[in-house]
Amino acid sequence: MTTQNAINWPEKYLPGTGDNFVSNEVIVAGLSAAAVWRYLVDTAEWEGYYDNVADISVPQDGGPELKNDIRFSFGTFGFPPLDAHVVEFQAPAEGFPGRLSWTAKQDGGPEERLDVLHAWLVEDLPGGRVRVLTQETQIGEPAAALASERPTPMLNGHQVWLDGLVRAASK
In a domain, 5, yes or no: no
Q: Which domain holds residue 41?
A: 17-170
Alpha-carbon dihedral of residues 122, 126, 128, 131, nearest 10 degrees? -20
In a domain, 12, yes or no: no
| Whole-number pLDDT of residue 79 | 85
Q: DSSP letters of 4-29?
A: PP-----GGG-TTSSSEEEEEEEEEE
Q: What is the CATH number of the domain that holds 100?
A: 3.30.530.20
pLDDT in tens, 31-40: 999 999 999 9
Residue 63 banded pLDDT, cuts 50, 70, 90: confident
Number of domains in the chain: 1
pLDDT in tens, 96-130: 999 999 999 999 999 999 999 999 999 999 999 99
| Whole-number pLDDT of residue 99 | 98
In a domain, 59, yes or no: yes
In a domain, 75, yes or no: yes
Q: Is the dihedral of CA 42, 49, 7, 78 positive or negative?
A: positive
In a domain, 10, yes or no: no
In a domain, 147, yes or no: yes
Strands (E), the chain: 20-29, 53-57, 71-76, 79-90, 98-106, 114-125, 129-139
In a domain, 166, yes or no: yes
In a domain, 138, yes or no: yes
Asked whether residue 2 carries a pLDDT value surpassing 70, the answer given is: no
Average the pLDDT over 152-163 and give the result: 96
| Whole-number pLDDT of residue 101 | 98
More confident residue, 167 or 61: 167
pTM over 0.85: yes
pLDDT in tens, 70-104: 999 999 998 889 999 999 999 999 999 999 999 99
Task: Give the closest residue to 121 by CA, choosing from 44, 37, 45.
Answer: 37
